[in-house]
Chain A
Amino acid sequence: MKDVPLEIIITTGENPDPQLVQFSDLYDLRESITSIMYLWNTNCYYVDVTHQTFIINGGRKLHFEMGPCRVCYRRRNQHKYAMNDLKGKPEKTQIHIVGLEKIGTEKRLILMISEDGQEWRWANKL
């Protein structure tokens, strides 16, 4: 549990410098967000939307509450099995999900990023 609500850092097109914001600001700015960063001890999780890069360190649990926001990180895995197939093993893929949720409200931002960080999209729900 964290009491400090200002550990989310975002950058928007209007303001290229990283700034600390409340969740309500982030939600309102969601169409112009170019990067999201949040800090957890020595691990840094950084998403650069403009340049479509994603850097992540460690695979530890990242599900905690910070002030009015809940930040979650999870990996979503898919194993795709063919039927009527004799060619080989199933295809296995993974995407990263970074979610920011205003506690007690329906507002949330969920960003899904491909395993190699080259593709991303906003999602409405987990």
Chain B
Amino acid sequence: MGATVQVAETNGPSATSVETIDPANLNMGSDDSAELVPATYPITAQADGHAFEKWLRFYVSLMGGSNIVDNLKVWISSLGGGWKTGEGMTTNMRTTGYVQATYPTGGPIEVDSTVATQVMPEAEPGGPNLGISGGLGGQIVAAPNYSDWAVLQLDVSNLTPAGSVNQKTLTFQYDEQ
């Protein structure tokens, strides 16, 4: 039996936030909610347009005989048919100069994120890009516990064509020892 580790998404202002553990998808759109339907909450093509930020964490609910959970990496493992014009994704995750993010009092925002300022990697990072307790070399050794926050934001421009963007795949990777 191994550790039970899932991705958890948090939405809403911090005082009334709602957590969704192991969401079915990470669809992004014009609503601060988990598992949203993109057609219901489309992002309007506009200069400097954005989806609501996604605030995500690894949630370790059970160590299950493992002693350590570490080496956290998150990246876009498939771009589907590629980026549409003006489309992109930013994040707070990075392999150097990493700084732990703090969940915003007012909750995720739909304007340009001041936390997700790095280009989201499109290949497996060479080392961990998400920290534990503020450090990329951190380890989770007891449950329940969380990783640091992974913040994602999808961006569009006024040149982004109408219609669905291509389906992408995000990979969340962790090691257990």
Contact = CB atoms under 8 A, between A and B. Distances in A.
A88 to B, nearest CB: 6
A73 B168 CA distance: 31
Nearest to A63: B177
A30 interface: no
22 contacts: A61-B68, A75-B2, A75-B175, A76-B173, A77-B175, A78-B173, A79-B172, A80-B169, A81-B170, A81-B171, A82-B25, A82-B168, A82-B169, A83-B27, A84-B164, A84-B167, A86-B37, A87-B25, A90-B24, A90-B25, A97-B175, A126-B175
B16 to A, nearest CB: 25
A121 interface: no
Nearest to A94: B2
A60 interface: yes
B39 to A, nearest CB: 9
A59 B65 contact: yes
A82 B35 CA distance: 11
Contacts, number: 95
B132 interface: no
B140 interface: no
B45 interface: no
Interface residues of A, number: 29
Question: Interface size class for chain B?
Answer: 35 or more
A96 to B, nearest CB: 11
In terms of DSSP, what is the predominant structure of the interface of chain B?
Answer: loop
A29 interface: no
B165 interface: yes
A3 B5 CA distance: 35
A89 interface: yes
B25 A86 contact: yes
| Most B CB within 10 A of own CB, among A74, A81, A82, A88 | A81
B82 interface: no
Given A74-B177, A86-B37, A81 B25 contact: yes
In the complex, the 3 A-B pairs of residues with the closest C-beta atoms, listed nearest first: A61-B67, A79-B172, A74-B177
B24 A75 contact: no
A106 interface: no
Nearest to A126: B71
B1 A80 contact: no
Interface string B11-25: 000000000001111
Interface in B54-82: 64-68, 71, 77
A29 B92 CA distance: 43
B98 interface: no
